[in-house]
Amino acid sequence: MIRQSWEKLRSRCERCARTTLILGTTLVALLFAGILMAAGAAGLAWTNTEKFCIGCHEMRDNVYAEFKGTIHDTNRSGVRAICSDCHVPREPGPMLMRKVQATFELYGHFVTGVINTKEKFEKHRYDMAKRVWTRMKETDSLECRNCHHASAMDPEKQSERAKNRHAKMKSEGLTCIDCHFGIAHKEPDGGPGPRELKIGKR
């Protein structure tokens, strides 16, 4: 049927047939690319859900269990921050980079089982925390600033103590994670904290 119509068109007007072929191929390619992009975006969005993050017991039984009941989980206004809000950048480029890095964690989950028991998790807790702190210091606590904007903070609505600490943040070039660590998860034992970590650029 299609072949017959095509032959008919070709015999009538060669140029029309060629134009139709080019337009048709472009349309199919665009449609295919669109489907691929939509599927990719949906896939990425799925990996940012809480359900996905606690799909493995390493996260569910350790850091997620610690997160429950904290200010970012439950509070007076009901605004929550889930795993990806604090651990995945929102900008497309940095987000893709983070996702690529995270694929290496699958090796640890499926092949080596590096943190598959409570004891192993505790043994590696400091190293994992240090990695997160380092990244946040390098990005000036990017994920915190997705929701908390220093420029939008009204010192008059803060306690005297918070006002002093935030003034110090500005004068000493500190970043959110220098003080606000161990708020959603247990503080790891041993080793230098964020403020003591020496980070090259910021």
Partner 1 sequence: MKFAAALVTSLLIVGSTGPAAAQGVDADAAQALAKKSGCLKCHSVSQKKDAPSYREIAAKYKGKADAEKALHKHLTTSPKVKVDGKEEEHDSLKTKNDADVMNVVRWILSR
Write down the least CB distance from residue 118 to partner 1, Å: 14
184 counts as binding partner 1 under rule CB under 8 A: no
190 counts as binding partner 1 under rule CB under 8 A: yes
Write down the least CB distance from residue 172 to partner 1, Å: 10
Cα–Cα dist 27/34, whole Å:
10
Q: Which of 26, 101, 117, 164 binds partner 1 (CB under 8 A)?
A: 164
196 counts as binding partner 1 under rule CB under 8 A: yes
Q: Which of 38, 168, 199, 202 binds partner 1 (CB under 8 A)?
A: 168
- Would you state the torsion angle of the CA atoms of residues 201, 126, 80, 199, taken in this order, to the nearest 10 degrees? -10
Q: Distance from CA of residue 176 to its chain's centroid?
A: 17
179 counts as binding partner 1 under rule CB under 8 A: yes
Q: Which of 161, 170, 198, 201 binds partner 1 (CB under 8 A)?
A: 161
Site string for partner 1, 104-143 (x = CB under 8 A): ----------------------------------------
Choose the binding region for partner 1 from 42-50, 54-62, 79-87, 159-167 (rule: CB under 8 A).
Answer: 159-167
What does the chain look like in DSSP terms, one character per residue? -HHHHHHHHHHH-HHHHHHHHHHHHHHHHHHHHHHHHHHHHHHHHHHTSHHHHTTSHHIIIIIIHHHTTSTTTS-SS-----HHHHHS-SSHHHHHHHHHHHHHHHHIIIII-TT-SHHHHHHHHHHHHHHHHHHHHHTTSHHHHTT--GGG--GGGS-HHHHHHHHHHHHHT--HHHHS-SSSSPPPPSS--GGG---S--
187 counts as binding partner 1 under rule CB under 8 A: yes
Write down the least CB distance from residue 70 to partner 1, Å: 8
Q: Which of 52, 61, 128, 193 binds partner 1 (CB under 8 A)?
A: 193
Residues between 58 and 87 that touch partner 1 (CB under 8 A): 70
Could you tell me if 44 and 95 are in contact, meaning their C-beta atoms sit under 8 angstroms apart?
yes
| Interaction site with partner 1 (CB under 8 A) | 70, 160-161, 164-165, 168, 179, 181-183, 186-187, 189-196
